[in-house]
Structure 1
């Protein structure tokens, strides 16, 4: 527990706030925000630093509380520990249904004043705004919109194998065979539960479609979870193991991305934060690497919205710093700089996308098209569709099945149903 409490640091922070309040904002930071997040890979860390610099330019202090782990599970454990000890950070990266859970506990601050001044209701797509509110009040601010159902590829490896970018699962398996024969890993993957789930939900979307995806992974309908379509999705998902290498167990997602960047692997199924790694490596979209919707999912957009939720604070200087943080997150300067570094698209669709690459421009166009056509779905693997405990239970089923030599798809589907019923 000692790693989470930081008493001397906290005393220094409180002392700093007292001095700042006494001296006035012109002579010292008006307040300090401690921000818990898991933006720790190269591209992500650069992106988070943009916000820190903007805060400091406005005279506020920023205490970085970065907790590594691509899916955010470790960060959430740390956050719960801090909140239970009555010492939550000022702001934390919290997503989807978890925002509602923290709101129910009465621990989140109200951002309605900032939202009104910034015109958030007019600015944000309703899908995005809805996730940020608890009981009709803004309690969080969206940083971006990620698309999860992407396929990334190294064009030189595809060319060496004599294959095109696959647009269906059948094409993916056929391409995989040719890529393997040419001496490359067809599909780079990291054997971690959240990465397994990321691939699984894209396969399920491809085999079952948008309506089935919603019934199974959002509504947790037992008939969908235990039926033939689920068995087909699970069977196809397990076949993807044939396209992966034997050393994938425990590999971080960005290491899998670097296999594609370096030409050891042809493709990776991963959300568009992977693009931040291609960008950090100095590569150009459409030339040095390719992007396309995950095979079979071109009519859908699996979204993952990163957001910062604000915790209730009593110190006036910290509260002021919090409000400034919320305002800065949606301003064009941060939205553009952060999303260019992160690989995602801005949370506000009114920005000029001229500086963004063709993958980001396609992502925004697909977001708007699928929003109108009904193909926009929340990512289960990334905390947007179901509560954290349900998500964890689904992760267990998916990853155990994927790694078990002798578990049948029917058995995994039965476990899915049991998981959902235990959650209700």
Structure 2
């Protein structure tokens, strides 16, 4: 069971916290895996915001493993009875923790600040357990991007593809020009990132939701899924032989330096381009993955709150949640990380053209019902079926498995619990 919010924890109470840090400041211990340069700068800003509201930040950073190491550390802490105030957790894992009865209710601040009207409904639902907010969303990453080097296209006489048919036309021209059409890293999560964008392009958002969110057996076994694997098999022919084990940023570097023409990757790839001094629209193009312009696969970072017995700690969690959802923090975090703010009401003028397109597409897809959670990035299904599905995709990408056999294996994997 989730404890109801204690009286006096409304936002009005939080606003009355002193603006200078008292001698015995309240604190929040936060377990996270934001350890890269841009992420660390963003965390530093959040610490400043909390300090101004009288709350000290106790850091519990766990690097590596794309969050797996942090998840292991969190489980150990909770099982020992020493849960942190908050932890970086996302997607269905929020519901899994909710079932353990260890989460704190932060409805007081969410209702006072009208989170329901500020967040896309799909995101708000993920942040709740049994109808109550238990987590604060930090940002949104769009996963279904295609990153393109326009100089490579010009050399090959090709154009940026808007459809899957156009993708293969461009890929053939790039290959004929002696360059690598598709930069890719042969790691399971990268294979799954490519797969989900292809599935969305082949079958559309309704198919994607039925197959990869609802795990509907008919959708998983049907003709659209067979076509997805057929399309993926064609794409394998445009990936170089050295892709196995390659990190995603090294694949991005292939596009940056003109060795490859295109890469399917989330918007964190933009950070590699900008770090190399490249400008969007001139030195690189960000276009929706072929066939997915009207849809949006999202990856949302969030801070999950855990039950704390002391009233001061509970109040500090409320302050942390409010700070995370503030327009100021949402802006600075996304500017550093390459994502976009998850809440409405953040000014767009500091964001580049790729981010502004992402903002517009998020709004449009949310209204159209084509805003869907990323399978590859822990947003769509629980960890057990996700792992089994990703294993099938990786086997397909690294063998001569037929599309028919892959579909059968995928349907079986989706039943994993």
Q: Same fold (TM over 0.5)?
A: yes
Contact 2:334/2:340 (8 A) holds in 1: yes
Alignment of 1:83-98 (within 5 A): 83-98=78-93
Considering fraction of residues, name the structure with more helix. Answer: 1
Q: CA deviation at 1:276?
A: 2.9
Q: CA deviation at 1:109?
A: 1.1
Residue ranges of structure 1 left out of the alignment (5+ in a row): 1-23
Distance in 2 between residues matched to 1:90 and 1:277, nearest whole Å: 33
Contact 1:329/1:335 (8 A) holds in 2: yes
Q: CA deviation at 1:57?
A: 4.0
Q: Does 1:243 align with 2:255?
A: no
Distance in 1 between residues matched to 2:256 and 2:35, nearest whole Å: 19
Q: CA deviation at 1:113?
A: 1.8
How many equivalent pairs are there?
A: 399
Stretch moving more, 69-78 or 295-304: 69-78
Contact 1:29/1:61 (8 A) holds in 2: no
Contact 1:109/1:313 (8 A) holds in 2: yes
Distance in 2 between residues matched to 1:331 and 1:101, nearest whole Å: 27
* Counterpart in the other structure of 1:16: none
Stretch moving more, 180-189 or 287-296: 180-189
Q: Does 1:379 align with 2:367?
A: no
Cα root mean square deviation, aligned: 2.1
Counterpart pick for 2:57 among 62, 70, 76: 62
Counterpart pick for 1:321 among 305, 316, 319: 316
* Counterpart in the other structure of 2:296: 301
User: Residue 32 of structure 1: SS of its match in structure 2?
Assistant: strand
User: Residue 240 of structure 2: SS of its match in structure 1?
Assistant: coil
Distance in 2 between residues matched to 1:66 and 1:246, nearest whole Å: 36
Counterpart pick for 2:137 among 111, 118, 142: 142
* Counterpart in the other structure of 2:186: 191
Q: Does 1:415 align with 2:409?
A: yes
Contact 2:20/2:52 (8 A) holds in 1: no
Q: CA deviation at 1:25?
A: 7.0
* Counterpart in the other structure of 1:350: 345
Q: CA deviation at 1:342?
A: 1.6
Q: Does 1:130 align with 2:125?
A: yes
User: Residue 182 of structure 2: SS of its match in structure 1?
Assistant: strand
Contact 1:43/1:277 (8 A) holds in 2: no
Contact 1:222/1:417 (8 A) holds in 2: yes
Distance 1:154 1:50, change over 3 A: farther
User: Residue 273 of structure 1: SS of its match in structure 2?
Assistant: helix
* Counterpart in the other structure of 1:269: 264
Counterpart pick for 1:180 among 175, 179, 188: 175
Distance in 1 between residues matched to 2:40 and 2:157, nearest whole Å: 37
Stretch moving more, 263-272 or 144-153: 263-272
Distance in 2 between residues matched to 1:76 and 1:254, nearest whole Å: 23
Distance 1:237 1:69, change over 3 A: farther
Contact 1:42/1:280 (8 A) holds in 2: no
TM-score of the pair, normalised by structure 2? 0.89
